[in-house]
Structure formats: C-alpha cells, structure tokens
Amino acid sequence: MSEENPTREKILRACWELLEGGDTKVRMSDIAKTAGVSRQAVYLHFPSRADLLIATTRFIDEVEKVDDRLARSRAATTGRERLEAYIEAWGGYIPRIYGVGRAMMAMMDGDEEARAAWNGRMMAMRHGCEAAINALARDGDLAPGLETDDATDSLWTLLSVRNWEHLVQERDWSQDAYITEIKRIARAAFIRP
C-alpha cells in the first residue's frame, strides 16, 4: 500500500473510517481517538486538517486502485462502449470516495489547498469524459450540433459526485438504478439517434 509508517497509516484509516461512517463533523480529536493516538500525534504527521483529508483521498485511491478501474474503460473499442464503460467505472467508484469527498467539498470554501486538490481530481475525471466524447466523435456517433468541449462539460456535470448524492443519498436510489439512469441519459443526450 506504499504506506510504511504504521502510525501514519492508522491515522489515515481512522480518518477514512470516520468519514465513511457518514459523520458530518469529524474533528481532529475524533480521528486521533479512533486511531488510538494523541491529537498532537496527528499534527506530527499532517500539518493541518486539510492536508490530512487530501492525504486520505490519495490513500484511498491507492488502496482502491482508481486508476486501474478507470483505465479499464480505455480498453473499449467503440465510442459507445467507452462511454458506458466509463460511466460504470467512475459511477461505481463514487460510493468509495463519497465520505471523504463530502468532507473535502465542505472544506472547499475556506481552504484553497483543499479546493485545488479536489478540483484536480475532478479535472482528472473530466479527462475521462473527454476521451469518451472524443471516441464518440471519432466514430461519427456524437449527437449532431454538439461541440466536443461542451459535450465533455455536460457529461462531466452529469457524472458529478453531487448528482450521485442527489439520487442515491437524498432520493434513495440504488446504485444500480443510478448507473442505469445515468447511462440512459448519456446515451440520449450524447449519442446520435
């Protein structure tokens, strides 16, 4: 897991666990307690709460192997397949990062570092959208009258964590129903009829 320091890892796992638990207000002292270390020990490893959250997202990425998941969608040959594969890959990943993502998003206004870190991740996700849209365009399957840039922004918005939150968390959709519906909308909106 590329984490050789056991205390650091205990803290990261504690942070992950607590945020995953849906606790909306996780304090540094909560994390310390869960990790079984003193609050000050946390500051020995992470200069600030924002840094800890950012490190936690990176840690999750490694443990859950995001890149591998998303890379798989690149194997698809046609644009249509690629679009679906990407929605499945990213859409399936959202629940894994939602806990920490929520905390990061909450921290975004106020902490510039957290904002940049989260935006960076979202821009990486946008590249996947761009690749899918470009593959569609290459096949001549992109809906007529659409610029690839705009279609990329649209798809990126459709796949946002907030939309997942709206449907799965607030409206109680199942993960499967979410994936199915997003694919349906994406097909309808981006693929030439």
- Residues near DNA (CB under 7 A) are 6-7, 25, 27-29, 36-41, 43-45, 47-50
User: Which one, of 159, 6, 179, 21, lies nearest residue 100 by Cα?
Assistant: 21
173 binds a second copy (CB under 8 A): yes
Min dist. Cβ of residue 41 to a second copy (A): 26
41 binds a second copy (CB under 8 A): no
- The label of the residue with tokens 């994936």 reads 179
Angle at the Cα of 98 from the Cα atoms of 151 and 132, rounded to 5 degrees: 25
Backbone angles phi, psi at 26, to 5 degrees: -95, 120
Within 8 A by CB and 6+ apart from 70, the residues are 86, 89, 90, 93, 128
153, 169, 175, 183: which one binds a second copy (CB under 8 A): 153
Min dist. Cβ of residue 186 to a second copy (A): 9
Distances (CA, A) of 63 to 56, 60, 191, 192: 10, 5, 34, 38
71 binds a second copy (CB under 8 A): no
Residue 112 or residue 147: which is nearer to DNA going by CB? 112
For a second copy (CB under 8 A), the number of binding residues is: 29
Residue 47 interface partner, choices DNA, a second copy, none, CB cut-off 5-8 Å depending on type: DNA
